[in-house]
Amino acid sequence: MDLDYSTAELAFRAEVRDWLGGHAPPPLPPMDTADGFAAHRAWEAELAGARLSVVSWPEEYGGRGASLIDWLIFEEEYWAAGCPARVTQNGIFLLGPSLLRHGTPEQREHWLPRMARGDDVWAQAWSEPEAGSDLAALTSRAEPCEGGWRLYGHKTWSSRAAFATHGFGLFRTSGARHRGLTYFMFPMTDVAVRPIAQLDGLPGFAELRFDGVFTPESMVLGEVGQGWRIAMATTSSERGLTLRSPGRFLATADRLVELAGDADPVLADRAARCRVEAEAYQLHTFGTARRIMAGEEIGSAASLGKIFWSELDLRMHALALELLGDRAEDWLDGFLFSLAGPIYAGTNEIQRSIVAERVLGLPR
């Protein structure tokens, strides 16, 4: 693997660093409040104005047609500049790649530029109360009607749903277990939303109830009955590359090392180890990006990255609290969020089973 940056990549890094140096916002209110949600959308619209919200997307959809390596460089600079988490991440990092690969030309032309600007903010609607981690067991269904489909059922733990404008998820269109699922996008207008409070009391999630919610035919992604295959591509993006870039953890590790500067040598050593592990994840991810750019699929190996970054993030925030004790206010929100890392995007227990069976070939 080539570890050297090209001249063009170095120039891109300099451009991004310079722009963020003049535009990075002050700390914004939490995105899980109405005011914070609006403030994050305004910031991301500004980012889109500089064509920096989706750098690896084609230019006609608001991107720069940049490589995955450029995207990783952008992410490093973004987090190093102290910029906030993205309220649009469900759309641009999960649905967006699926639309680029499986959407019709009309779907791509309509939805992707809006997603890049933050005009629409998408909620992810995978989980159901009775399905647990077995996504193929979901029971929410879709019935055909004139001009489209009617959606029925109950989804839960839907991130960003309290304030999102649209959602995407799987609904059952036949009795077949995996082949009976279809991938739908839908407006949130007629969906009954019940916010769910996180540990910090804010509605980071919501329950969704569908009682015949209409969505037009044009909101079906891919073919009817092919939802499982598309969803697996979405989850691979989520776990393997786009959901959590190394830049986020490198920035956290740098803060941690600085915090531990004059601390007990044992604690300082643990902080240094976290920095080394963040750098190891960076190198692993650059290798993954190079393989994707060469035409390879990530496949089930994506689960390895998800396990690694979620457990590293938890270790770093726990150590920060250990270092600061009751002065850890600046790290507390991050710590609470890191607790969820081993759970969301598929629990780490499920990811370990995937690695054992599909990567290592061990028996069930």
- Give the residue numbers marked as catalytic: 238
CB 78 within 8 A of CB 89: no
Token pair, residue 198, equals 């996180």
CB 166 within 8 A of CB 188: yes
Token pair, residue 12, equals 């891109």
CB 162 within 8 A of CB 153: no
CA gap 308, 244 in Å, rounded: 11
| Closest to 123 in 3D by CA, of 233, 31, 56, 47 | 31
CA gap 324, 303 in Å, rounded: 32
Q: What is the DSSP code string of 62-105?
A: TS----HHHHHHHHHHHHHTTPPPPTTHIIIIIIHHHHHHHS-H
